[in-house]
Amino acid sequence: MVAQTTAPIRTAPPLAKSQPRVMNIQNVSKQYNKQNWGLRDFTLEIGPGVLGLLGPNGAGKSTLMRILATITKATSGTVTWNGADIARSPNQLRAVLGYLPQDFGVYPNLTAVEFLQYMAAIKGLDAKTAKRRIEELLQVVNLVEAAKRPLGSYSGGMKQRVGIAQALLNDPQLLIVDEPTVGLDPEERVRFRNLLSDLSGERIVILSTHIVSDVEAAATHIALINKGQLLRQAAPEELLKELENKVWEWKVSSDELLALKQKYIVSGTIRRSDGVQVRVVHADKPNTNANNVSPNLEDAYLYIIGGGA
């Protein structure tokens, strides 16, 4: 595959600043069955920028995204888009929504152009607008050269980029992408992250992932979610600030490591010839040899998800 940077994004002129653009999630719960809750009393307000929805597998990320994309309804609670209830009037939101589901599948026999034409027709774009928009988007997602090849021959990263292109057909004000980097190789991951941060601007972008480094570069806000509940919403800098003076490194023997892992949140280990350099997140100095080091988002994630905060 040719390594190229993505072309600059050309979209419709930005909306007037006065136009509201806010998603308000109020006390939303989703109960699948007796034992299974996807979400529990989830409350969050989302404005322009890139929101990184970060949490382990089973946390409720896809459940939340499906509700926001009006694919499923909450059991209780309300979600409003610019003040209007999305369960009662979903079409208002659907008109300005782009959604890339976690289990996005492509038709292997269609080319990228054919697939995008098909999706554009479903979304109700007229043929002329669709043609122009597809040409633009193929550049945005860097698939001009591969545009006439069947999707079955595409790599994982290329398929995800087609997925993003279909989500962008209507130039959405709200773009929801669910775990888009799963299955991508490291190079494709980096390219995909760059693409997402280029796409933000006046839009709301909601990106879910269980991988901290996916949101490190792009996210302007982070929502940490676990067991169907919101643990924290903050700017990345705030999370890092919170972890100041709580991250420690020192050297231990291999034998000590296991006990240490049971007692503390270990956010990193590096094997050395004379032992193991451990990185621990803890409010107080855990060991006389421990040195304070500067925190990263992975530390913050483990600390908050692990219940240290």
Ligand X SMILES: Nc1ncnc2c1ncn2[C@@H]1O[C@H](COP(=O)(O)OP(=O)(O)O)[C@@H](O)[C@H]1O
Which of 42, 50, 54, 63 binds ligand X (CB under 6 A)? It is 63
The alpha-helical segments, DSSP class H, found in the chain are: 61-68, 90-94, 112-122, 127-140, 156-168, 186-199, 212-216, 236-242, 254-263, 297-305
Chain positions contacting Mg ion, by CB under 5 A: 61-62, 102
28-47 residues near ligand X, rule: CB under 6 A: 32-33, 36, 38
Q: How far is the CB of 177 from Mg ion (least distance, A)?
A: 11
Please report whether residue 101 would count as binding ligand X according to CB under 6 A.
no
Answer with the entry of ligand X, Mg ion, none that 49 interacts with (C-beta below 5 to 8 A by kind). Answer: none
For residue 181, what are the CA distances in angstroms to 156, 160, 207, 303? Answer: 9, 8, 10, 24
Whichever of 184 and 305 has its CB closer to ligand X, that residue is 305
Q: Assign 33 to helix, strand or coil.
A: coil
Please report whether residue 58 would count as binding ligand X according to CB under 6 A.
yes
Please report whether residue 57 would count as binding ligand X according to CB under 6 A.
yes
Q: How far is the CB of 206 from Mg ion (least distance, A)?
A: 13
Report the C-alpha gap between 190 and 82 in whole angstroms. Answer: 33
Q: How far is the CB of 146 from Mg ion (least distance, A)?
A: 28
Please report whether residue 181 would count as binding ligand X according to CB under 6 A.
no
For 212, left (φ over 0), alpha (ψ -120 to 50), or beta?
alpha
For 62, the enclosing helix (H) or strand (E) is helix 61-68
Determine how β-strand 37-46 pairs with β-strand 204-209: unpaired
Whichever of 166 and 209 has its CB closer to ligand X, that residue is 209
Q: How far is the CB of 53 from Mg ion (least distance, A)?
A: 10
End-to-end CA distance of the chain: 44
Please report whether residue 226 would count as binding ligand X according to CB under 6 A.
no
Per the structure block, which two tokens stand in for 159? Answer: 């398929």
Q: How far is the CB of 169 from ligand X (least distance, A)?
A: 24
